[in-house]
Structure 1
Amino acid sequence: MRRVVVTGVGMVNALGLNKDISFERIVKGESGIKRIESFDVTDFSVQIAGEIMDFNPESVLDPREVKKAHRFIQLGLLAAREALQDSVKDSKESFLNENLEVFSDVGENFGISSAAGIGGLENIQSNSIACYTRGPRRVSPFFIPSALVNMLGGFVSIQHKLKGPNLSSVTACAAGTHAIIEAAKTIMLGCVEKMLVVGAESSICAVGVGGFAAMKALSSSHNDNPQKASRPFDKKRDGFVMGEGAGALVLEEYESAKARGATIYGELCGFGESSDANHITTPAPEGEGAYRAMKQALQMANIRPDYINAHGTSTHYNDLFETQALKKVFNGNVPPVSSTKGQLGHCLGAAGSIEAVISLMAMRSGILPPTINQEESDQECNLDYIPNTAREATINCVMSNSFGFGGTNGVVIFKKCK
């Protein structure tokens, strides 16, 4: 089986428009959670989210093209561009021209694996309103292609001339991780040499916030103190906080990366997938499905992680059952764990790709990101969650967990490449 390595990463979230600023602020324990500004939340029980405030869509698209792509696609384009540039930055050979298009002799062997949990939800909302209040002729001709999840991969592939497989994962909050796994499988099977993974989400709109709030899934007790709302594994956690953003990774066959002198962030050495087959929203008791996905990934990797980026949503059952699954799979001797959703909110389908990028940057820098808002210990969640303050450490292997509605689970493990 061919080895798969990561040669470039990019991300955008509520703490920054690129990977370096984002990671620096995450390590500092800063929070990007604030009062929602994109629509009037006066009548909403939940009024906070991890919104990105300073993004200009014309930084990634011609002004005439902006209306054709929903915000989740635009954010994905930004992260994808950064990952591709990062992949060739210090290498002996580049595969990009001055327009950031992949050379024609590379393009057919370069695919894309994209991911989102919901896609263009705000466009669905606005066009539905237009249809029922002003008539069907008021529906935008760009509505459908701007809202489809797989159009993230479509826009990215068109912009960068990627002509290999164009795949898409729509598996709720595990989508970003599943996109990594699908890309890795494609390379391992010898279908292509390179795959660009892009997970993106932007669902902070009236129907998105209203829908999750109606499920009682969101934190509703910190509207006046937003930065304290997302508190993974803390005793007083009361729900997750919505976030938006995108994460991107360039996956490459090891020999190809080595031959062009690419900088390697890490090798994807293990992955696992499972289904809870239990409930549409609540994880399986004791994290049984999560346990099987982690066990599968660990058996494939055959190495113990030094750090785990947990799914850690800040909901009661997710944090409890993930803790129980971690204890079981590591026989009680669990490595340091943190959830960066305390800083960014839950970016839904983009979470897995963003958190994979964070995990790789943690391994590269030797810094364990903290779990912020760890103020009161929960006796049932009693692992080392790296509370509140980042920690220097020797990190040779990292694991990232993602679990989604419908009981879908994905786990990836990266190690330093030798």
Structure 2
Amino acid sequence: MKAFKHTHRTASQWQALSRNPFTTLIEDAFGVPPSQQVRRVVVTGLGLITPLGLGLQSIWDRLLQGGCGIKRLTAADLPKGHDKALNKLPSRVAAMVPEEQFAETLAAAGLRASNSRFVNFAELAAIEALQDAEWQPVSEAEHQATGVAFGSGLSCTTDLAEAGVHVMQGLIRKISPFLVTRILANSPAGAVSIRHGFQGPNRAAATACAAGADAIGDAFNLIRRGDADVMVAGGTEACVDSVALAAFGRMNALSARYNDDPCSASRPFDRDRCGFVLGEGAGALVLEELSHAIARGAPHIYAELRGYGMSADANHITQPPADGRGAALAMRRALRDAGSCAADVAYVNAHGTGTPLGDVAELRAIHHVFGGGSADGHDAGIGGHNHKGGILETVEQVLHLGKATRQEPEASHTGRPLISSTKGATGHLLGAAGAVEAVFAVMSLVDSTAPPNLNLEHPEPGPWEDSLIVST
């Protein structure tokens, strides 16, 4: 912070001075401002933990093949004591990380199962992404130039529920001395940092369903302005328990019609959608300054992150505005930040949770931005809804994605981007959703292949119907 010079000026004198060019005012008051660098940011590593399995390639293959990670819950799937509420829950399906595979991977990494599940997810996703990027800092300078940004939505509801029971029973000494560190939203970022010795910026986003995307946006901007050379960024969530299921159920937000047909329960953009399916998992990306990646011979430069936009729709605590103006604003800001136009975008990996109001509002927003519509007269998450938009490109070009999976790349005949939500396969991973879906978006560019909308049998009517990718 720097003090004003010439503080004897009156308000009217400052007002007169402010009518001069801004540079005159700022140089007179503070001196010449420091130059701002804008650096290019690329994706060099990817890691995934999802209900479709563990490991990037196997998950991606299952997604393209129409796999589904949603199951009917049993008592064994819930934390101890939570099974008593199972038969009273309106929604008894969830998308869970395969337990046996998770335990094996956890042991192989030398991590303790006694740690918070959402922290373990973040650590495993980060380990895979770092190994994929082959980034292992050696010097002190390299450790100081590497940071972490991880988001989560609900942290660890299981631990809080257990502590609440102990408090109500007066059993204070039964509360774990590690409870605070187990539930802190920044515990995943801290754990990744400590394990690898990263001393760069350490950030934690807690913006509900936008948290994973927010963390990636934070990391992107930190590298772009020179605060770090490398960032491990992503999102994590693990709250499949009776507390979260009951709470979202009371909001009428969960899919409750398909308890006997779990793989049909999550239906983004389908006319018969009736709510989202609660899921868990994590996604991580290694973001890196372009010249840094080239200089060290990074084995992959998957894509370039070109722009990021955010907005709040300022409408309602749970309901988005029907015209999708908040989401449209975030996408327009991402395009502007990237120096791109709507015609440059070939595929949108949508939020698409399967809720009746949210899906149609999002489709309208996409249509406003990419289909020639309008919102608020312009041409073309929860808590007031935070919206995030990001523009990813391959380093060499924007790829045009095929209409159906595993087809040769071709432009959509509508002239608009293709649209799919991957939550039909993974459920809604809350704070991890944006990060996992960012990984899917990168893989779509790499393979020139867009994943389908699972369970899309009767598309929501509208001008976007030809852009929605149907399962083959």
Under TM normalisation by the shorter chain, which class is it? 0.7 to 0.9
Offset from partner CA, 1:87-126 (integer Å, 9 cap, x none): 01xxxxx535xxxxx6533110101001001111111111
| C-alpha distance in structure 2 between counterparts of 1:336 and 1:271, whole Å | 20
| C-alpha distance in structure 2 between counterparts of 1:147 and 1:59, whole Å | 24
Instruction: Confirm whether residue 375 of structure 1 aligns to residue 375 of structure 2.
Output: no
Root-mean-square deviation over aligned CA pairs: 1.4
**Which is higher, the Rg of structure 1 or of structure 2?**
2
Counterpart contact for 2:153–2:208, Cα < 8 Å: yes
| C-alpha distance in structure 1 between counterparts of 2:107 and 2:444, whole Å | 31
| C-alpha distance in structure 1 between counterparts of 2:250 and 2:281, whole Å | 23
Q: Which secondary structure state, in structure 2, belongs to the residue aligned with residue 285 of structure 1?
A: coil
Q: What is the number of residues matched between the two proteins?
A: 376
TM-score normalised per structure 1: 0.87
Q: 1:198 Cα shift? A: 2.6
Counterpart contact for 1:70–1:146, Cα < 8 Å: yes
- Partner in structure 1 of residue 335 of structure 2: 298
| C-alpha distance in structure 2 between counterparts of 1:75 and 1:331, whole Å | 38
Q: 1:199 Cα shift? A: 0.7
- Partner in structure 2 of residue 280 of structure 1: 317
- Partner in structure 1 of residue 292 of structure 2: 256
| C-alpha distance in structure 2 between counterparts of 1:210 and 1:181, whole Å | 32
Q: 1:268 Cα shift? A: 0.5
Q: Which secondary structure state, in structure 2, belongs to the residue aligned with residue 286 of structure 1?
A: coil
Q: 1:7 Cα shift? A: 0.4
Superposed counterparts of 1:131-210, under 5 Å: 131-133=167-169, 135-210=171-246
- Partner in structure 1 of residue 107 of structure 2: 58
Which structure has the higher relative contact order (CA within 8 Å, separation 6+)?
Answer: 1
Against the structure 1 CA distance between its residues 23 and 103, is the aligned structure 2 distance closer, same or farther, given a 3 Å change threshold? farther
| C-alpha distance in structure 2 between counterparts of 1:109 and 1:103, whole Å | 10
Instruction: Confirm whether residue 360 of structure 1 aligns to residue 442 of structure 2.
Output: yes
| C-alpha distance in structure 2 between counterparts of 1:7 and 1:323, whole Å | 31
Against the structure 1 CA distance between its residues 286 and 139, is the aligned structure 2 distance closer, same or farther, given a 3 Å change threshold? same
Counterpart contact for 2:111–2:120, Cα < 8 Å: no
| C-alpha distance in structure 1 between counterparts of 2:110 and 2:194, whole Å | 12
Q: 1:253 Cα shift? A: 0.5
Against the structure 1 CA distance between its residues 20 and 134, is the aligned structure 2 distance closer, same or farther, given a 3 Å change threshold? farther
TM-score normalised per structure 2: 0.78
Counterpart contact for 1:36–1:51, Cα < 8 Å: no
Match for residue 353 of structure 2 among 297, 306, 313: 313
Q: 1:260 Cα shift? A: 1.1
| C-alpha distance in structure 1 between counterparts of 2:370 and 2:206, whole Å | 29
Q: Which secondary structure state, in structure 2, belongs to the residue aligned with residue 204 of structure 1?
A: coil
- Partner in structure 2 of residue 326 of structure 1: 366
- Where in structure 2 are there 5+ consecutive unaligned residues? 1-37, 373-414
Q: 1:76 Cα shift? A: 0.7
Match for residue 232 of structure 1 among 262, 265, 268: 268
Q: 1:382 Cα shift? A: 2.4
* Identity, % of aligned positions: 41
Instruction: Confirm whether residue 213 of structure 1 aligns to residue 249 of structure 2.
Output: yes
Q: 1:134 Cα shift? A: 5.0
| C-alpha distance in structure 1 between counterparts of 2:364 and 2:253, whole Å | 21
Match for residue 122 of structure 2 among 66, 76, 96: 76
Counterpart contact for 2:130–2:136, Cα < 8 Å: no
- Where in structure 1 are there 5+ consecutive unaligned residues? 89-93, 97-101, 390-418
Counterpart contact for 1:244–1:347, Cα < 8 Å: yes
